[in-house]
Structure 1
Amino acid sequence: MYFCANRHRRDVAMRPDSSEDVVMSAMRLDDALRSGAKVVVLEVGREGEDHSEARHSYLTGHIPGAHYVSFEADLVGSRTGSSGNGPLPHAGGLQERLRTWGVDDGSTVVVHTRRNPAVAARAWWVLRWAGVANVRWLNGGLAAWRAIGGALDVDVPPPGAGTAVVRPGALPVLAAEDIGRLATSGHLIDARAPEAYAGDARRTGTGHIPGAHSVPGGQNFAGDELLDVEELSALYAAHLDGREIGVYCGSGVSATATVLALAALGVEAALYPGSWSAWITDPTRPTTTGSDPGAHPLPAG
């Protein structure tokens, strides 16, 4: 029977973690579940747009014991006029959900999705930010689980009685006022697609933050699997000089895949949760278009 049940830093934090502390293979998950280890599996579904059938897909067959997590309801907070499209969830509400999913402070939580791997990366990031220490991103998602012959179950697990305590701030975040400093003295990475980064000089609200370098979040993956350490090291080689790294995207989703990828290299990057959708709510903030980073006009510090 399976059981599932500080803001910014001046320098990049190099941790001794290996990629296995961030990513879990389907085989390792199967071994952990069979051993009776305290593992909580969460399937993340994005229910808007073409993800409207996410919960239905979960109900037709999921990893045994896995709880369903709604991206919109569970991983995104209430929007305001300046928050952007993906604000952080409220700590109290998130703690209640974690306990319902059966998460304790000592649990290992494994997150996965059926489609866009960045959706599960957002779950990984939110839980780590909230102070859940042992969170793993399932490499390859549900497809990898099925590829090893993993069983699927239609039974929905009952609500758990977890005791997890949310402690926000366990991963660094950036506010808008941090961006100028980071763009000039560190590395600011834009994880959106190249066309979004370039924008259109004829359209306001398009382009990127001056000083940001384009490394699309989708490049972190080969299919639904994270690139290996050597490939990730090559991808981010220009940004691994020990200076602080910050990441943003459109609304704080694909950027979490970049934070995940860097964490697999032992590098801690800060996330700008509001990302581009929050940045452009203030018309006085600088933007630029084209394929070059440009220079940020705000002073560092």
Structure 2
Amino acid sequence: MALLISPDDLAAALRADAPPRVLDVRWRLDRPDGRPEYLAGHLPGAVFVDLETELARHGDPGDGRHPLPGRAELEAAARRWGLDDGDAVVVYDEGGALSAARAWWLLHRSGVADVRVLDGGVTAWAAAGLPLETGDVRPRHGTITLEPIVDGVALIDEAAAWPGHGVLLDVRAAERYRGEVEPIDPLAGHIPGAVSLPTTDHLDDGRFRDAAEIRATFVAAGAEPGVPVAAYCGSGVTAAHTAFAGALAGIDVTVYPGSWSQWSNTPGRPVATGPQP
């Protein structure tokens, strides 16, 4: 099953008899509500997805900033988006899929067979001269049934132990890994034993690099074939982006959803700084 779709291919698919459901997942750390941008211009028929309330749940600081939603909550959201069992789904954001990948990962892990990411997002769509719509899209409620997420997820103790048997990737910006800056969480640094591999390394001008290039970045970080790989970020959002990049390269990546926001809010967890694991 293809994981990426180009703007031209998506435009053709939207003209077919059974078009995919399109989800707009615009969100940024400095602008978490992407609805104003969505209302100003989105792909035809696209439904807005609120990452903060639909792709995460509220929890205590010790749960991290974006704990995973429960199965029932995610299913209710997916039905609001108009999804039915068997639907093909395309997710997108502004460009590099840094937030859209969270929707891809949750739906993929919940049993949705055909979920693709629009390569380059709305930026590439508009650059191709394809039309945008304004205003809100409110589809009829769908009837999809999602499965509970039972694999591909690491809890905090599993993340702590991961460097002992595999590669734990810290996919935040390198300066946050080194502990030079920390704009949000209470402590600066990284999980001891983690290796720095910023998820933006998998992109070139907002689009994904080819599979061979992505695979090479993983190998350079120690993720040789057969080595178990897990990833964390600030709050579990861009770790899903690394999981998507891994899938493009044929590498299974477990996500630690609590990520640094949970680790740094949990008393007694050690913190490493500097460029080395």
Query: Do these two structures clear the TM 0.5 threshold for a shared fold by scoring above it?
Result: yes
Distance 2:102 2:85 in 1: 20
Distance 1:204 1:150 in 2: 43
1:42 match = 23
Distance 1:23 1:47 in 2: 21
Instruction: Give yes or no for contact 2:20–2:87 (8 Å, CA) kept in 1.
Output: yes
User: Which one of the candidate residues 271, 275, 291 is aligned to 2:275?
Assistant: 291
Query: What's the CA shift for 1:141?
Result: 0.1
Distance 2:61 2:134 in 1: 40
1:117 match = 97
2:218 match = 236
The answer to whether the aligner puts 1:248 opposite 2:228 as a matched pair is no
Point out the more displaced range, 153-162 or 271-280.
Answer: 153-162
Structure 2 counterpart of 1:188, one-letter code: L
The answer to whether the aligner puts 1:209 opposite 2:191 as a matched pair is yes
Query: What's the CA shift for 1:87?
Result: 0.4
Instruction: Give yes or no for contact 1:88–1:273 (8 Å, CA) kept in 2.
Output: yes
Counting aligned pairs with the same residue, the percent is 38
Query: What's the CA shift for 1:38?
Result: 3.8
Query: What's the CA shift for 1:142?
Result: 0.5
Instruction: Give yes or no for contact 1:86–1:251 (8 Å, CA) kept in 2.
Output: yes
Distance 1:205 1:64 in 2: 43
The answer to whether the aligner puts 1:108 opposite 2:88 as a matched pair is yes
Distance 2:150 2:256 in 1: 14
1:281 match = 265
2:159 match = 179
The answer to whether the aligner puts 1:142 opposite 2:132 as a matched pair is no
Instruction: Give yes or no for contact 1:47–1:72 (8 Å, CA) kept in 2.
Output: no
- Mapping for residues 64-83 of structure 1, pairs under 5 Å: 64-83=44-63
- Mapping for residues 256-267 of structure 1, pairs under 5 Å: 256-267=240-251
Structure 1 counterpart of 2:207, one-letter code: E
Distance 1:225 1:38 in 2: 23
Count of matched residue positions in the alignment of Structure 1 and Structure 2: 272
Q: Deviations over 1:86-138 (max 9, x none)?
A: 10012212111111211112111100012563111112112222222211111
2:6 match = 25
Q: Deviations over 1:35-70 (max 9, x none)?
A: 122410000122774355x32222222111110111
Distance 1:92 1:32 in 2: 30
Distance 1:107 1:288 in 2: 44
1:165 match = 145
Q: Deviations over 1:248-273 (max 9, x none)?
A: 01111121111010001122110000
1:225 match = 207
Distance 2:104 2:151 in 1: 11
Distance 1:117 1:152 in 2: 18
Question: SS where residue 270 of structure 1 aligns?
Answer: strand
* Bigger-Rg structure (1/2): 1
Taking a change above 3 Å as real, the CA distance of residues 212 and 48 of structure 1, as seen in their structure-2 partners, is closer
Distance 1:29 1:177 in 2: 41
Instruction: Give yes or no for contact 2:96–2:120 (8 Å, CA) kept in 1.
Output: no
Distance 1:161 1:215 in 2: 40
Taking a change above 3 Å as real, the CA distance of residues 290 and 49 of structure 1, as seen in their structure-2 partners, is closer
Instruction: Give yes or no for contact 1:128–1:170 (8 Å, CA) kept in 2.
Output: no
Query: What's the CA shift for 1:179?
Result: 2.0
The answer to whether the aligner puts 1:272 opposite 2:256 as a matched pair is yes
Instruction: Give yes or no for contact 2:235–2:258 (8 Å, CA) kept in 1.
Output: yes
Question: SS where residue 236 of structure 1 aligns?
Answer: helix
Q: Unaligned stretches of 5+ in structure 2?
A: none
Distance 1:256 1:140 in 2: 17
Question: SS where residue 62 of structure 2 aligns?
Answer: coil
Query: What's the CA shift for 1:171?
Result: 4.8
Structure 2 counterpart of 1:174, one-letter code: A
